[in-house]
């Protein structure tokens, strides 16, 4: 016998509220999904497996197979237009012939920050927000002062090696991803604010963890419709960690800035001083310096910490390169009285070539020149990119093009010796640092810092993979990002000639 269930007025109100919330949620999802620009007819879509994968399946497949889809699209179209279907929407890949035209376009139309905001959920994490000061200061002031700054960076690298790497005569394990990131953090922070930052354990930990936690927070936020993220950010633990890092930045950098203001006659040759001198108006506050310091750490550590790990993995797999590199580095050190000077580092052409080849196989990102087209854009040949389209250049596929790199699947560490393009050069065949006015302004410091650290490691340590039978640890791909396996350990031992 069925019983009659009596529902009170308050219960009806609650049920109606839940139903309304669910309906609103579905509406938000529908609107978010349908705000994306339509695909242009006739443009190849990578990853559909000849129509056997649904659109949803293709986007899910992209998450761990971006490199495969990019190579497929580039090959099928012979370097032409194609779409990469990503979980957050389609990316229109462009031929490199449009790069000169696009790099000269106004930021309001071809939006660099818009792409960055999308990649890192910047409206919530603040990555890409108020990034107007430091790129210009780095390009104008830091790059001009590298010769004077590098001795302090060298001192910090030497100090970090003594603290973080084994000093005994026996083989000992290290995790390069962890150890090298700590060394890069200290070296970068020495450049940023001197020993007050590089020897501050709380700050160096925050500068490292902010990079990871911001990326994790951005990925978590992307699970929610864009219009809800400003609300959702208050309730997810990943964003709580980002907020804590911002608090540490204010705790450490604000007093440092105020202390310097009390002693203006004492000069400081570091980026923090350059930023303060260049700032004006509402930017000239200790709080904005704290925010910018965290942003600089994000950019420096994210870029510079992965390259040495890839380099060492590649050298473990190809030890025949070690002696030629050590000979070149040793000759340079003799000429520079035992120091890694800016001029001396520039003469390490074999190391530069090896770094460039390693980066060709192991880019930080498979894509470069990511931009948001804010309104319909007509290119010089009449092709129209619809407003709202996310674009990019398939840098990884270009780096594997046999017309640009003979035998592209062969790792040739000295392939680039004698060429005019260096590790930091940006052109249509070398896009790891970006291109145009938004190419990485800190790449000259990053290259010097990486060369210094890797050269010193090569000269002072023997090293090998700890797991027999593995030639080179596989990378981990996630959407557009490509990273060295952070769990790998190697065995290291101080070189007998250096003890």
Q: Residues forming the annotated binding site for heme?
A: 440
Flag whether pLDDT at 350 surpasses 70. Answer: yes
Residue 222 in this model has a pLDDT that exceeds 80: yes
Known binding-site residues equal: 440
Whole-angstrom Cα Rg for the chain: 25
- Contact in structure between 71 and 62 (CB atoms under 8 Å): no
Q: In whole angstroms, give the CA distance from residue 76 to residue 468.
A: 39
Whether residue 1 is predicted with pLDDT greater than 70 in this model: the reply is no
Average pLDDT over residues 294-318: 91
Q: What is the mean pLDDT of residues 372-400?
A: 95
Contact in structure between 256 and 196 (CB atoms under 8 Å)? yes
DSSP letter, residue 270: S
Task: Give yes or no for residue 35 having a pLDDT over 70.
Answer: no
Output the CA torsion sign for 79, 117, 389, 107: negative
The predicted-structure confidence for 249-281, as pLDDT tens digits, reads as follows 999 999 999 999 999 888 899 999 999 999 999
Average of pLDDT values for 447-470? 94
pLDDT in tens, 101-147: 998 888 889 888 777 788 788 889 888 787 789 989 999 999 999 99
List Cβ neighbours of 140 (8 Å cut-off, separation of 6 or more): none
Taking only the tens place, the pLDDT of each residue in 190-210 is 999 999 999 999 999 999 999
pLDDT over threshold 50, residue 65: yes
The share of the chain scoring above pLDDT 70, in percent, equals: 89
Q: CA-to-CA distance for 85 and 74, rounded, in angstroms?
A: 14
- Tell me the C-alpha distance between 1 and 119, whole Å: 58
- pLDDT over 60 (residue 368): yes
Which pLDDT tens digit goes with each residue over 68-91?
Answer: 999 999 999 999 999 999 998 999
Question: Count of residues for the chain?
Answer: 499
Q: Residue 465: which H helix or E strand, with range?
A: strand 461-465
Quick one: which of 242, 236, 202, 243 has its CA closest to 222?
A: 236
pLDDT recorded at residue 425 = 67
* Mean pLDDT of the residues in the chain: 89
Per DSSP, the three-state class of 187 is helix
| pLDDT of 120 | 82
pLDDT reading at 9 higher than 60: no
pLDDT given at position 487: 95
Q: Please give the pLDDT value at position 328.
A: 98
Q: Taking a C-beta distance cutoff of 8 angstroms, is the pair 19, 49 a contact?
A: no
* CA distance linking residue 52 with residue 48, whole number of Å: 6
Indicate the pLDDT class of residue 442, thresholds 50, 70 and 90: confident
Share of the chain above pLDDT 90, in %: 71
Average pLDDT over every residue of 143-161: 97
Local confidence band at 23 (pLDDT 50, 70, 90 cut-offs): very low
What is the pLDDT confidence band of residue 12, given thresholds at 50, 70 and 90? very low
pLDDT (0 to 100) of residue 60: 95
Per the model's pLDDT, the better-predicted residue between 420 and 59 turns out to be 59
The more confident residue out of 37 and 449 is 449
Give the global pTM.
0.88
Predicted confidence at residue 29, as pLDDT, reads 42
4-22 mean pLDDT:
45
Rounded mean pLDDT, 158-172: 96
Residue 315 pLDDT grade (very low, low, confident, very high; cuts 50, 70, 90): very high
């Amino acid at each position: 016998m069925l019983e009659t269930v009596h529902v009170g007025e308050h219960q009806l109100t609650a049920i109606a509220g839940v139903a309304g919330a669910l309906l609103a949620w579905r509406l938000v999802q529908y609107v978010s999904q349908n705000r994306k620009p339509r695909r242009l007819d006739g443009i190849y879509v990578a990853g559909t497996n000849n129509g056997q994968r649904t659109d949803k399946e293709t986007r899910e497949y992209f998450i761990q197979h971006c490199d495969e889809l990019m190579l497929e699209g580039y090959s099928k179209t012979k370097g032409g237009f194609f779409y990469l279907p990503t979980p957050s929407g389609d990316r229109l890949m462009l031929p490199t012939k449009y790069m000169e035209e696009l790099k000269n376009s106004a930021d309001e139309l071809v939006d660099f920050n818009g792409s960055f905001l999308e990649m890192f959920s910047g409206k919530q994490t603040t990555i890409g927000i108020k990034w107007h000061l430091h790129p210009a200061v780095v390009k104008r002031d830091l790059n001009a002062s590298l010769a004077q700054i590098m001795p302090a960076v060298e001192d910090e690298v030497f100090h970090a090696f003594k603290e973080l790497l084994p000093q005994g005569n026996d083989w000992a394990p290290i995790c390069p991803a962890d150890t090298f990131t700590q060394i890069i953090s200290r070296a970068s922070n020495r450049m940023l604010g001197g020993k007050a930052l590089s020897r501050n354990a709380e700050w160096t930990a925050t500068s490292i963890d902010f990079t990871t936690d911001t990326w994790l927070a951005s990925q978590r936020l992307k699970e929610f419709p864009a219009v809800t993220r400003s609300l959702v950010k208050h309730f997810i633990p990943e964003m709580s960690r980002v907020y804590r890092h911002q608090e540490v930045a204010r705790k450490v950098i604000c007093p440092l800035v105020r202390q310097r203001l009390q002693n203006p006659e004492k000069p400081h040759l570091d980026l923090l001083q350059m930023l303060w001198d260049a700032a004006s108006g509402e930017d000239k506050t200790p709080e904005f310096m704290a925010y910018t310091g965290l942003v600089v750490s994000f950019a420096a550590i994210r870029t510079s910490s992965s390259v040495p790990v890839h380099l060492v993995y590649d050298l473990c797999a190809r030890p025949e390169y070690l002696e030629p590199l050590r000979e070149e580095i040793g000759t340079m050190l003799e000429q520079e009285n035992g120091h890694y000077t800016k001029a001396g580092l520039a003469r390490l052409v074999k190391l530069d070539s090896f770094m460039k080849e390693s980066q060709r196989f192991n880019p930080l990102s498979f894509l470069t020149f990511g931009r948001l087209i804010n309104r319909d854009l007509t290119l010089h040949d009449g092709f129209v990119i619809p407003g709202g389209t996310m674009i990019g250049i398939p840098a990884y596929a270009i780096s594997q093009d046999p017309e640009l790199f003979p035998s592209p699947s062969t790792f040739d560490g000295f392939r680039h010796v004698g060429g005019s393009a260096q590790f930091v050069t940006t052109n249509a065949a070398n896009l790891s640092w970006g291109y145009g006015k938004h190419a990485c302004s800190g790449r000259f410091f990053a290259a010097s810092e990486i060369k210094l650290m890797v050269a010193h490691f090569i000269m002072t340590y023997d090293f090998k993979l700890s797991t027999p039978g593995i030639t080179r640890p596989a990378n981990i791909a996630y959407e557009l990002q490509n990273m060295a396996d952070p769990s790998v350990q190697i065995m290291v031992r101080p070189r007998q000639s250096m003890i």
